[in-house]
Amino acid sequence: MHLIEIYKSVQGESSFAGLPCIFVRLAGCNLRCSWCDSEYTFSGGYNQSLDEVESAVAALGPTRLVEFTGGEPMLQAKELIPLMDRLLTLGYELLIETSGERPLADVPTHVHKIVDVKCPGSGESGRFHWPNLDALTARDEVKFVISDRHDYEFARDFVKEHELTGRVGNVLFSPVFSNRPSTERNASNCTLDPRLLVEWMLADGVSARLNLQIHKFIWEPMRKGV
Return residues touching ligand SF4 (CB under 6 A).
29, 31-33, 36, 38, 70-72, 99
Q: What is the rounded radius of gyration, in angstroms, for the C-alpha atoms of the chain?
A: 17
Residue number with CB closer to ligand SF4 (21 or 73): 73
Q: How far apart are CA 79 and CA 96, in angstroms?
A: 14
CB of 131 to ligand SF4, least distance (A): 18
CB of 72 to ligand SF4, least distance (A): 5
Residue number with CB closer to ligand SF4 (29 or 159): 29
CB of 33 to ligand SF4, least distance (A): 3
Residue number with CB closer to ligand SF4 (125 or 165): 125
CB of 199 to ligand SF4, least distance (A): 26
Residue number with CB closer to ligand SF4 (22 or 100): 100
Residue number with CB closer to ligand SF4 (12 or 70): 70
CB of 127 to ligand SF4, least distance (A): 9
Bridge partner residues of 210 (DSSP): 173
Residue number with CB closer to ligand SF4 (38 or 48): 38
Whether cis (ω within 30° of 0) applies to the bond prior to 181 is no
CB of 103 to ligand SF4, least distance (A): 15
Do 51 and 206 touch, CB atoms closer than 8 A?
Answer: no
